[in-house]
Amino acid sequence: MAMMGGPGLGPMGMRSGPDLPRGRKVRAGTFRRILPYAKRYRGSLVLLVILTAMHAAFAAITPIALKVIIDDGILDEQRDVVVSLSVAVVGLAIVDGFVIFLQTRFSGRIGQGLLYDLRTTVFTHVQRQSLSFFTRTQTGALVSRLNTDVIGAQQAVTTLLSQATSTIMTLVLVLGTMFLLSWQLSLAALAMVPVFLLPSRAVGRKLQRLTRRRMQLDGEMGSVMNERFNVDGATLSKLYGRPEMESASFAAKAGALRDIATTIMVWGQMLFILVTVLTAATTAVVYGIGGTLVIDRTLEIGTLVAMAALLLRVYGPINQLANMQVNVMTALVSFDRLFEVLDLKPLVQERPNARSLPPTGWRGYPAPDVEFQWVSFRYPSAEETSVASLEATDRGKPERRSDTWALQNVSFVAPAGQLTALVGPSGAGKTTITQLVPRLYDATTGTVRIGGVDVKDLALDAVSETVGVVTQDAHMFHDTIRGNLLYARPDASERDLIEACDAARVWDVISSLPDGLDTMVGDRGHRLSGGEKQRIAIARLLLKSPPVVVLDEATAHLDSESEAAIQRALQTALVGRTSLVIAHRLSTVREAHQILVVDKGHIWERGTHSQLLSAGGLYANLYGIQHEPQMDGWAPRGRAPVGYDPDQTQFLGFIVPRVK
C-alpha cells in the first residue's frame, strides 16, 4: 500500500509527535466522574474494605504471636504455650487465606462489573455516533479503548479502594505494633525510608510516561492489524506487491512496542530491587542494634524476631503508598481516554417527545412521500464529530472540507409509491442526498420530510423502520446467511427467509449450497460474489419491508447477468414503495417516474427519461456519452438549478442562490 506522508505522520499513516498523550495531564473532574461507577457496587465495596482490614490485622498479629512463642514459650520452656500458639498461628494463616479468597472474589466481582459497565456504555455511545465519526476514526484505536483502557479504568477504582485501604491499614497497624514493641528500633528502621522514597517516586513517574506511550502504541498496532487482516486490505497488499514493505513497517511498530515493554519491565524491576535492598539493609540494622540490646538485656529476643518480621510487612506498603499517586494517575489516564469518547455528543440526536409515523406500506397504508425543502448541507468539521487521538488519516470515503457546501438549496418531492432516480457525475451530491433521508447526517439548513413530518421530529427507531437502504457495496457480517438476513427482522420465520430470498432472485443460489442458509459468508461477505451479496442485501431489505427504499448504485460494477438478476429482484422490492435510486447507468432508470439530475450540489433538471432527452440538457449529454461515445460532450453549467415551490407544488427555475 502507498505510504502516507505529511506533517505528523509516521510509517503506515500513524500519528506521531504531539498527538501522542505522553505529556498530557488527566483532565480536572475525572476522579469525580468515576464515583458513579463505583457507587453501583457500594455493598461489595464495603465488604471488600472490611476484608482488607482483617487481612491487615492478621499481618500485625502473627509477629506478636511469634514473640510470645519465643519469649514466653521457648525461653521459659513452656511447652503448652509453644504448641497452642503454634496451632493458633496456623489457624490465623488458614483464616487469612479464606479472607484473601473472599477479597479476590469481591474484587473480581467489582472489577468485572466495572469492565461490563464501561464496555457497554462506550459501545452503546459509539453506536449512536453519526456516520462522519466512523469515516474519521481508526477502528483499531477505538477497539483499544474498549479492550485496554477499560481495564486500566477498572484498575483505577480497585487501586483507589482496595490497595489504598490495604496499604494504609497495614502501615497503621504494623507501625503501631512496632512502636509498642520498641520505639528505638522503629525509629532506626524508619530513618532509612526517605532514602528509599525519592528514587521510588522517580521510577514511578517514569513508568507512568512509559505506560501512556505503550497504550498509544497498542491502539496503533490494533488499527494496523484491523486494516491489514481483512480481505480488502490483504488483497490490496498482494496486488501492489507490498507484503514485505507491510511486514517491515509492522515490524518497526512491533519493535517500538517491544522496546517500551522491555523498558517498563526493567524500571518495574528497579522498584523491586530498591525494596529488596532497603529491606535487607534495614533488617541488618535492626538485627545489629537489636542484637546489641538483647546482649545488654534491655530487649527480649522474641521482640527482636517480631520486629524483623514486622519490617518485612512495612516496606511493601511504603513502596505502594509512595507510588500511589503515580499509579492512580496512570490508571486515571484510561478513564480520561474513555471520557474523551463519551464526551463526544452524537450530531444526530433524537428530540424530546419524538414521534412515530403511522404504519405504512406493508400494512395496507400508502407509502409516505419524501420531501426536500431548501436543503443545504456541508460535512461537519473534525472538531464537531471526532476525537483527535482516534482520527484516521485519509481513511474511508474522504469528507469534503467543512466550509464547502455539498448541497445547496435542494428542493424536490419523491412522490409516494413512485420511483425517483438521482443521476449525475461522480461527486455531484447524489449519495449525500440519500444519506439525509435515513438521518445518517442532518441537513445543515432546510427541511427533510417523510410523510409530511420533519425527520428531526421523528424517533430514530421510526426513521430506521421507515427507510431501508441498499448500498453499492452491501456489507455482510462474518456470520451465516441466515444471521445476516435476521439482522433486518430477528423474528422472521424460515418461510419468511425463503420467500424474501426467492423474491430477491437468490434462493436458487442459496439452496444449492451444502449448508444453505447456514453457510458462513466470510469476512465482509467475501465468500459470495458481488451479485450474490447484492441480492442477499435486497432480500434483507424485503424482510425489513420498509415503505421508503434508497438504492445507492446497487447494480454498479456488476456483470450483465448479475445486474439483470438484481433488476428483476428490484422490480419486486420497489412495488408500492417510495424509492430513491442512484444510478450511473442511465439505461437502468428509463422507467423511473421522475429523474433528478444532480451536479455540484444542485438539482439542474427534472423530468422523465423522454422529457429530459428532449430537453437536450445535462441528462441528454450524459446519456449520449454512455450510448454514443462519438458525440462531443457538453454540460450546461451556466443554467440555473431547478428549485421547488412548496406552495405551487411545481418546479421552477431560480437565479439567486439562497446559500452564500
* Residue 551, phi then psi, degrees to nearest 5: -120, 115
DSSP 137: B
Q: What is the pLDDT of residue 335?
A: 78
DSSP string, 535-592: HHHHHHHHHH--SEEEEESTTTT--HHHHHHHHHHHHHHTTTSEEEEE-SSGGGGTT-
Contacts of 130 (CB under 8 A, 6+ apart): 346, 347, 348, 380, 385, 440, 441
CA-based nearest residue to 333, from 15, 22, 17: 22
User: Residues of the chain with pLDDT > 70: what percent?
Assistant: 80
* Residue 656, phi then psi, degrees to nearest 5: -85, 120
What mean pLDDT comes out for the span 388-415? Answer: 69
pLDDT in tens, 262-283: 888 888 777 777 777 877 888 8
CA angle 242, 247, 248 (to 5 degrees): 100
Q: What is the pLDDT of residue 182?
A: 87
Q: What is the pLDDT of residue 90?
A: 92
Q: What is the pLDDT of residue 602?
A: 92
pLDDT in tens, 363-394: 455 789 999 999 999 988 777 776 766 665 44
Looking at per-residue pLDDT, the higher value among 158 and 125 belongs to 125
Q: What is the pLDDT of residue 410?
A: 94
Looking at per-residue pLDDT, the higher value among 216 and 404 belongs to 404
User: Residues of the chain with pLDDT > 90: what percent?
Assistant: 15
Residue 597's SS3 state is strand
- Phi-psi group of 345: left, alpha or beta (phi > 0 → left; psi -120 to 50 → alpha; rest → beta): beta
What mean pLDDT comes out for the span 321-326? Answer: 66
Q: What is the pLDDT of residue 8?
A: 34
* Residue 651, phi then psi, degrees to nearest 5: -85, 135
Q: What is the pLDDT of residue 186?
A: 86
Exposure class string for 467-502: b at 16+ Cβ within 10 A, else e: bbbbbbbbebeeebbbbbbbebbeebeeebbbbbbb
Q: Which domains does the chain have, with CATH numbers?
A: 29-342 (1.20.1560.10), 370-382+403-653 (3.40.50.300)
For residue 362, pLDDT beyond 60: no
**Confidence label for 482 from pLDDT (cuts 50, 70 and 90):** very high
Q: Residue 309 is which amino acid?
A: A
CA-based nearest residue to 432, from 95, 131, 89, 38: 131
Q: What is the pLDDT of residue 376?
A: 94
What mean pLDDT comes out for the span 455-467? Answer: 90
d(CA 607, CA 595): 5
What mean pLDDT comes out for the span 94-109? Answer: 89
- For the chain, give me the number of helices (H) and strands (E)? 24, 12
What mean pLDDT comes out for the span 584-612? Answer: 88
d(CA 47, CA 103): 8
For residue 223, pLDDT beyond 60: yes
167-176, 318-327, 575-584: which has the minimum mean pLDDT?
318-327
d(CA 174, CA 92): 16
Average pLDDT, the chain: 78
Choose the most confident range, by mean pLDDT, from 187-191, 318-322, 404-408: 404-408
**Confidence label for 55 from pLDDT (cuts 50, 70 and 90):** confident
Q: What is the pLDDT of residue 402?
A: 55
Q: What is the pLDDT of residue 330?
A: 66
Q: What is the pLDDT of residue 355?
A: 84
pLDDT in tens, 607-625: 999 999 888 888 888 888 8
For residue 657, pLDDT beyond 50: no
Q: What is the pLDDT of residue 309?
A: 85
